[in-house]
Amino acid sequence: MSFRLPASDFQAGAVDFASPGPRQAGANDNALWANGWPKRALDVAIAGVVLFIVSPFLLVVALLIRLDSKGPILFRQTRRGRSGRPFDILKFRTMTVLEDGDHIVQARPGDARHTRVGRWLRAYSIDELPQLINVLRGEMSLVGPRPHARAHDAYYGKRIAQYEERQVVKPGLTGWAQVNGLRGPTPTDEVMARRVDLDVWYAAHASLRLDLKILLRTPLEVLRGRNAC
C-alpha cells in the first residue's frame, strides 16, 4: 500500500496533536510514568547499557550493509514523536530505496526492494537497533507506540478516530501492539485500527510493570517472527 502526503496536512495548525481528545481530557492516570523522569531514567540506563554491549555487533552489521549494496549504512526518515514533534528516526538501511517524502510504499513480504542483508535484518528487527540512539536523545522511549511515516500519519489520521491519541506519549522501540502480534506492515485500514486500539490502550495504562512486561515479551515475539518483513 502506498501513501501520498497532502501538502496542507502538516502545515502549522493543520493538525493539533496537543489538544486533548475525549480520552486525553480525562488525563491519563499513568501520565506521571508515561512522560515522567523515572521512565526517562529507565530508558537511558537500559539503552546505554544495551548499546554498549551490542556495539561490536552493530559494527559488523554496518560492514555487511556496506559490502552488500550501494548506499548509506543508516536510513533516516522523518517521523512524529510526542505531541507531533518531528524527529529523524534511525534504522540500518535494508532497502534499495530511501523514501522520506509525501509518497511512501510500505514494505511487504517478498518485497523486491529489500537487499540481501536487509531481509535478514528485518526478519529479526536488527534494523531497528540504531533507534537506541533516538532513545538516548529523548526522541523515543524503549516502550511506546511505534512511530509511522508522515504520509501514513496523514492517511490514517483521517480514517481512524483515535489515531492521534497515540502521540500523547513518546513513540517506542517496541510496544503493546507489537508484542500482541501487530508487528510489521498494515495492509488494510482494519489492521491499522487494531494497532491503534492497542497503542491508545497503552498510552492510557502505561506503567513500570507494563513496560517491563513488554520488554520481556519483545525478544520472544521477534523470535516468533510473526508478520516480520
How many whole angstroms separate alpha carbon 102 and alpha carbon 206?
A: 32
Which pLDDT score is estimated for 169? 96
At 54 the pLDDT is 97
Q: How far apart are CA 132 and CA 47, in angstroms?
A: 6
Specify the pLDDT at position 101.
Answer: 63
Cα dihedral sign, 127-201-79-209: negative
pLDDT score, position 204:
93
What does the pLDDT read at residue 102?
65
The reported pLDDT for the residue numbered 1 is 53
Residues of the chain with pLDDT under 70: 1-29, 100-104, 228-229
Alpha carbons 156 and 163: distance in angstroms, whole number: 7
Per-residue model confidence (pLDDT) at position 71: 92
How many C-beta atoms lie closer than 10 Å to residue 30's C-beta? 19
Kindly write down the DSSP assignment for every residue of the chain, as one continuous string: -EEE--TTTTSTTTS-SSS--HHHHT--TTHHHHTSHHHHHHHHHHHHHHHHHHHHHHHHHHHHHHHHSSS-SEEEEEEE-GGG-EEEEEEE--BS----SSEEEPP-TT-TTB-HHHHHHHHTTGGGTTHHHHHHHTS-EEESPPP-BHHHHHHHHTT-TTGGGGGGS--EEE-HHHHTT--S---SHHHHHHHHHHHHHHHHH--HHHHHHHHHHHHHHHHHTTT--
Quote the pLDDT of residue 100: 65
Work out the angle between the directed axes of helices 37-68 and 208-224 (0-180°, nearest 10). 20
